[in-house]
Amino acid sequence: MFIGGLNWDTTDGSYSLLSLTDSFLTEFLLDGLRDYFSQFGKVDACTIMRDAAGRSRCFAFLTFDDPASVNAVMVREHTLDGKIVCWDLCSFVACLTSF
């Protein structure tokens, strides 16, 4: 699946981000892409696309072990790290020819 509209800070896994704002230490738990989509089934592969400097290009590709998991993703809206993300189906051949 193609997953677009990711937050710049979304990771492949999950981690905590500490922020010091107005003298208060705040901890934000950022959802990892794999962790979030694992609620729909076993994620085989999860790759956030990055530029040459290593910055996120705000889209990713992921594959599930069971095709039924894709159907579970398709029936609802997804918010990840504060952003509504979009999804699309792609086949291996379609992904190769789009670059």
Supply φ then ψ for residue 10, to 5 degrees.
Answer: -65, 140
CA 59 – CA 86 distance, rounded (Å):
9
Q: Are 42 and 26 in contact (CB under 8 A)?
A: no
pLDDT at 35: 87
- 36-82 pLDDT tens trace: 999 999 999 888 899 999 889 999 998 999 989 999 999 999 988 88
- Cα 87 to the center of its chain, rounded Å: 10
CA 49 – CA 39 distance, rounded (Å):
22
Domain boundaries, the chain: 2-97
Among 3.30.420.40, 3.30.70.330, 3.30.70.20, 3.40.50.2300, what is the CATH number of 2-97?
A: 3.30.70.330
